[in-house]
Amino acid sequence: MKIGCPTEIKAQEYRVGLTPTAAAEAIAHGHEVIVQAGAGDGAGYTDTDYTGAGARIAADAAEVFADADMIVKVKEPQTAERKMLREGQILFTYLHLAPDRPQTDELLTSGATCIAYETVTDGKGGLPLLAPMSEVAGRLAPQMGAYTLQKANGGRGVLLGGVPGVFPAHVVVIGGGVVGTHAARIAAGMGAEVTVLDRSLPRLRYLDDVFGRTFKTGYASKTYTAQLVAEADMVIGAVLVPGAAAPKLISRAQLSDMQTGAVLVDVAIDQGGCFETSRATTHEDPSFEIDGIMHYCVANMPGAVPRTSTQALSNATMPFMLRIADRGWADACRADPNLAEGLNIHAGQLTNRAVGEAQDREAVDPSAVL
């Protein structure tokens, strides 16, 4: 199979879909790898690194899309890229279709087979291809929130860890999954007073058993959540429903109860955001203010640390990429129901129920097209 890796063109996206190591693995399996010139520059990989691994360098994205049987990316294809997809081609990347009807429409029209990293499962309720970026985003969230809390950036002017004689900032993390756990660990490590809210008692027990007094935990009832949010210096939204639009956890009306200059960090913005007032931002212009509350809603947070993020993502995606290339997408999905969960679109048909529900359109079960 010919595996193509184009340069990411989303604003301030410096990650790359394949590392030279992943390219070498694919070539060792008998496949051809085509990498766009400069694709790895942002993550610190040169064209020479790829040619040394045996890959062919293509002059531009058009050559990659024209030659490749499978396109491996990081972010969802942008408008110009969607126009280059063709019937029968495989797209393997993050898609986050639920809040993005225009992308869904164009991918359906393309006739391509689109497998989304974020809906591949592991049989234990986990999302193995989302987890690495969730770990990175979770660890970045307090760091970015702390920066936004500075007065010059619109925040309350509160130091996350405080100083002797001055209380630390109060950070509320809504969601105790991968993102929330990593966010809580880093925020607590920076000296903040941290509370993690979740509605799963088993998860709360796990967090308490593992982390003890590192941070507090609480049940995410509406009343208790509203109370803590009103007192918080920073709120990190870390709730994800696989494939679906993120639930809205804080309404605009609640902003008036918060402390002026408090910060909302919306890690679920790729799935539409978990605060009513969220809208996607970029690393170039990462935050905005509504009703006195700062919002940090960068849609590709891990792109800020592309070297780490690319390596972590490639470690997770490479086995699945090789399986698809070795066996073909259909046979690979038939052999692995967890990979089949990643199938979102095939030949003009939507194959993810959560996306269908979010967009109020019909979706077929993946088994119907395998």
Q: Please give the full DSSP string across 215-229, using - where no structure is assigned.
A: SEEEE--HHHHHHHH
The pLDDT value recorded for residue 29 is 98
Expressed as residue numbers, the domain containing 146 is 131-304
Cα gap 108→271, rounded to integer Å: 19
CATH of the domain at 230: 3.40.50.720
Residues 80 and 97 in one domain: yes
Residue 261 lies in a domain: yes
Cα gap 104→112, rounded to integer Å: 11
The type of residue at 111 is G
Residue 152 lies in a domain: yes
Among 264, 282, 304, which residue terminates a domain?
304
Residues 297 and 148 in one domain: yes
Cα gap 50→20, rounded to integer Å: 5
Residue 31 lies in a domain: yes
pTM of this prediction?
A: 0.86
The pLDDT value recorded for residue 300 is 86
Query: Of how many residues is the chain composed?
Result: 370
The pLDDT value recorded for residue 169 is 98
Residues 289 and 330 in one domain: no
Residue 89 lies in a domain: yes
Q: Which residues of the chain have pLDDT under 50?
A: none
Q: How do strand 90-93 and strand 70-72 relate by DSSP bridges? A: parallel
Annotated catalytic residues are: 96, 270
The type of residue at 34 is I
Among 287, 304, 321, which residue terminates a domain?
304
Residue 203 lies in a domain: yes
Residue 88 lies in a domain: yes
Residues 171 and 115 in one domain: no
Domains of the chain: total: 2
Residues 260 and 278 in one domain: yes
DSSP 165: T
Residues 211 and 245 in one domain: yes
The pLDDT value recorded for residue 240 is 79
Residue 159 lies in a domain: yes
Residues 192 and 319 in one domain: no
3-class DSSP assignment, residue 361: coil
Cα gap 53→66, rounded to integer Å: 22
The closest alpha carbon to 203, from 179, 187, 229, 223, belongs to 179
3-class DSSP assignment, residue 33: strand
| Contact call for residues 24 and 53 (beta carbons, < 8 A) | yes
Residue 126 lies in a domain: no
Among 304, 336, 358, which residue terminates a domain?
304
Residues 145 and 64 in one domain: no
Residues 184 and 206 in one domain: yes
Residues 177 and 190 in one domain: yes
Residues 245 and 153 in one domain: yes
Residues 110 and 143 in one domain: no
